[in-house]
Amino acid sequence: MNHDPNCLFCKIVQGLIPSQKVYEDAEIYAFKDINPAAPVHFLIIPKKHLAMLESAEPVDAPMLGRMMELAPRLAKEQGCRPGQDGGFRLVVNNGADGGQEVYHLHLHVMGGPRPWKK
């Protein structure tokens, strides 16, 4: 597996930094955000180090698709209400102009009462 020894999220995947695991398989790891912006807020990341979404290559497409497919199931498991009356938000920050702070691709999954609507 491709890891960056200086990457915070690579260290989380390797178990060097503790996290509250939500999900794990051979390619993907999900964990709760340490500074949540919503009642439900977790990150889905590839175990492979990809600095940004634009770093992904065609070979990564199935794994990226699985991240998207996992989001609704994990959101529901973490307490988001399903369906049109419930739901969740997905966010990928890409690059400095996109607000990316940790340069390891991550998908924010946020749900529950919408603090951003106040």
* pLDDT one-digit tens code per residue, 52-103: 999 999 999 999 999 999 999 999 999 999 888 889 999 999 999 999 999 9
How many domains, in total, are found in the chain? 1
Cα–Cα nearest to 53, from 110, 109, 107, 89: 107
How many Cβ atoms sit within 10 Å of the Cβ of residue 49?
A: 19
Confidence (pLDDT) at 116: 59
Q: Is residue 67 assigned to a domain?
A: yes
Q: Is residue 2 assigned to a domain?
A: no
Q: What positions carry a catalytic annotation?
A: 106
Domain that holds residue 17: 8-117
Q: Is residue 3 assigned to a domain?
A: no
Please state the separation of Cα 88 from the chain's center in Å: 13
CATH number reported for the structural domain that contains residue 29 in this entry: 3.30.428.10
Residue 33 has pLDDT above 60, yes or no: yes
Q: What is the pTM of this model?
A: 0.93
Cα angle value 52/110/68 (rounded, 5°): 55
